[in-house]
Amino acid sequence: MPNTAKVVLYGTEDCGYCIAARKLLAGKGVDFEDILVSADGATRRELERRSGATTVPQIFINDKALGGFDELYELDEDGNLDTLLAQT
C-alpha cells in the first residue's frame, strides 16, 4: 500500500530500534525520509526541538511527532498505522 502521508524518521546508523523502525516501514512499502543525526549536531538539535526528545528513532507522520519504535510498532499491531499512512 503506497502511503500518502509524509513520513520522516530521525535516527542513527547503528541503533537497533532505528534499524527495526526502518525495516517495519520498508516492509510496509512506506516511502520515508531517513535523517541521520549521528554526525550532525544541528540536525540533532532540530530533532530535539521538533520532538522534545533526545532519543532515536523519532518518527513523524504528517509533521506530527509519533514517538519512537515502540509507538510505531504498537500502532502497527493495533492496525492504526495504515490509517495514519493513508492520510494526507
Per-residue confidence (pLDDT) for residue 2, from 0 to 100: 61
Contacts of residues 46-55 at CB distance under 8 Å and 24 or more positions apart, as own/partner, are: 47/10, 51/10
Q: Note down the domain range covering 44.
A: 7-79
Q: Which residue did the predictor score with more confidence, 1 or 66?
A: 66
Instruction: For residue range 54-81, list pLDDT tens digits in order.
Output: 999 999 999 999 999 999 999 999 999 9
Q: Among the residues of the chain, which ranges form H helices?
A: 16-27, 41-51, 69-77, 81-86
Position 30 in a domain = yes
Which CATH number belongs to the domain containing residue 51 in this structure? 3.40.30.10
Q: Which three cell numbers stand for residue 62?
A: 504528517
Q: Give 23-55 pLDDT, tens digit per residue.
A: 999 999 999 999 999 888 899 999 999 999 999
Residue 1 has pLDDT above 60, yes or no: no
pLDDT given for residue 64 in this prediction: 94
What's the number of domains the chain is made of? Answer: 1
